[in-house]
Structure formats: C-alpha cells, structure tokens
Amino acid sequence: MPLYHNDDQAMLKDSVAPFVAEQAPVSHLRKLRDSADATGFSRDLWTQFTEMGLPGMLVPEAHGGLGMGHMEAGIVLEEIGRNLTPSPFLSTSVGAVAALAKAGGTQAGRWLPAIASGEAIIALAIDEGAKHRPDRIAATATRAGNGFRLDGKKSFVLHGHVADMSIVAAKTDGGITLFAVPKDAKGVTADPRRLVDSSLASHVTLDGVEVDADAVIGEVDAGGDILDALLAATRTGAAAEMVGVGQGAMDMTVTYLKERKQFGKLIGEFQGLQHRAAHLYGEMEVARATVMKAQQLLDEGNEGAKLMVSVAKAKAGRAANLAVREGVQMHGGIGMTDEYDIGLYMKRDRALAEYMGDVHYHIDQVARMNGY
C-alpha cells in the first residue's frame, strides 16, 4: 500500500476537514472554556459527529459501525487537532473500540453498538500516577462472589466524570484484566480536574467497586494483549491529533511571517526565521509520514506496528512541540496573549504529549524493542 491517502480517504478528508473547521473551530473551544463548561465537550457536536457516522468509524460493521481503519480515524483526529476541538473521539471511538473489538464477547456486544450510535462515551482508566507506566498497574481486582471487587486509584482519565463506561485496567492473580465499569457503579468516584488545555481529566478512586464476572473485557488474566491494542490505537490516535496541532500551529505561524512587519520588512524575509520555519516544515512532514506508517501497520495487523507506534508518538511529540514553541516565539509578544490562538495550541500539545506515554517513555520503548 502506498503511503498516501487513497481516493476514499481523500474524500473522507474533504468532508471531515470543512465540517470540523466550520462546526468546531478554535472559537468553539474558547466558548466552552469561557462558559466553564462542566462536561468537557459539546454534546451537540457529538450528535453531529454521529450523524456523519464518525463515532463508529472503527466499530466493525457487524456491531453497527463502518469497519474503517486507523488511517481513516487519523484523518478525523488530525482535524480535531488542527481545530483544537474538545471531543471524546480519541478515548471512545479509537481506544475503547480497539480494546472491545480485540476482546469480543459480552462487553463488545454491549458497548460497540452504543458507541457507533453515539450513545456511549467511554473513558480509559489506565494511568495511576503523574506518568504513564502501564507495566506497573497497582489497582487490583479480587474475586468476590460471582464477580470481582476493584480497588485502586486512576489518574488522567479524560471524560472520566461523564463517561457511560470506563475501561479499567487492574491486576488479577495471573496478570492484567480489563473491566468495563459502568457509570453508576457503587464505589467509583471521579474527581474531574481542569487541565492546562481546558480539558477535564479525572482522578478516579475505586473503593471496593463490585462488578459482575461478565464485566471482564476478554478473559481474566489475559488483558495484556487487549491493553496493548488499546494503547497502540490510542497512542497512534494521539500522534495523529498532534500532527494536526503541529500543522495548525505551523500554518498559523507561516501566515504570520508573511503579515508582520518590523524594520520596514515582512519578518518572513529574515533568513533567521526562514531557516527555522523550513526546518519545522521538514520535521512536520516526517512526523506525518511516521504516523501514517504506524496507522498502516496497525491496519495491516503487521507485527512491526508496535515499534512504529512508539516511533510515531515520539516523533509527532517532538515535531508538534517544536511547532508550538516556534509558533509562540515567532509571534512575539502577541504569542503570549490569551487573545491569540497560538498559545492554545501550545497548551493542547502539552496535554497530548503526556497522554499515553510522553516522548521520553516512547524513546525508551524504542531502545527496548531494539535490544538495548
């Protein structure tokens, strides 16, 4: 498969890009932020997403979805990134779907159709501390009656306070098990925190939460592979969103270089800025190609996908970070003002960079996967 969008994918982009730009531009984020919105996203917008079939893009057709791949989901995520659109798309329609589709069974049958129909918002309760360490999950699930009792603390759970269901990773006797914990489960407390990018992420406490045996996603003790699928999908999705954030910041900055005058010249005439902008262009192009490669390998079920996913998360992280830093610097004083959008790009980049493993985490993973 060539590493560019085919005609169907190009058509998808042509319909999604103007839709997101018109319905949820940066002003949409500002409106939610300035009204101290407590949901974290617009349900009206999610309804519009549903009308276009987007929440169920990755859901298999048998479960009422479109059965598309990560390359297609990435097209939507890039536009979400470019417009800084607050949306539960990444956790619900990418991360949760990847886990449920991989696991199959009762929970897949219960939740996948509800995701496709736009009815269910899903949160991913993986992290437990300030850093992403999925190999050190401490939350426990112990057998109790016909089911399990969950105890522990989760953090950085985006949409955790409004999600209809949270996918919780917990330790069981023989490994990791994933659970579908419904919103109203007793003993679950979600404490939402406003983050730097105005999104809401919860600290979730699981205090003797009792769930039925069929709340298990997949098999008991065999959640490792399902968690891997969830992580690979979410990381790749976050990387695609970062490509959108970086591209949006870069485009805005290059435009500014062609408008702003100092010393009687457009500042874009100065070679000092031209070279930095050109360097940034290269980094963004490489990041985009890398993310597409990860998407393609995931869609093919290729064994090399895992390495490329970490490469993509790290490379997109580096490139988007450069884009927002150069963006603020090249905008000068106004780049520091709340009124200008470039600062909002910097904030979103920071949150995405941290989500599901930062640059350093994934660089380390790349070393491990290469035997050093």
Nearer residue to other proteins within complex by CB, 7 or 338: 7
Nearer residue to other proteins within complex by CB, 209 or 267: 267
Nearer residue to other proteins within complex by CB, 209 or 311: 311
Q: Per-residue b/e over 147-171, b at no fewer than 16 CB within 10 Å?
A: bbbbbbbbbbbbbbbbbbbbbbbbb
The nearest distance, CB 234 to other proteins, in angstroms, is: 19
Reading the block at residue 31, the tokens are 């409106």
The nearest distance, CB 315 to other proteins, in angstroms, is: 4
The nearest distance, CB 39 to other proteins, in angstroms, is: 36
Nearer residue to other proteins within complex by CB, 47 or 255: 255
Nearer residue to other proteins within complex by CB, 157 or 245: 245
Nearer residue to other proteins within complex by CB, 5 or 193: 5
What does the binding site for other proteins look like in residue numbers (CB under 8 A)?
A: 2-4, 254, 257-258, 265-266, 268-269, 271, 274-275, 277-279, 281-283, 285-290, 292-293, 307-308, 310-312, 314-315, 318, 362-364, 366-367, 370-372
The nearest distance, CB 263 to other proteins, in angstroms, is: 12
The nearest distance, CB 250 to other proteins, in angstroms, is: 9
The nearest distance, CB 283 to other proteins, in angstroms, is: 8
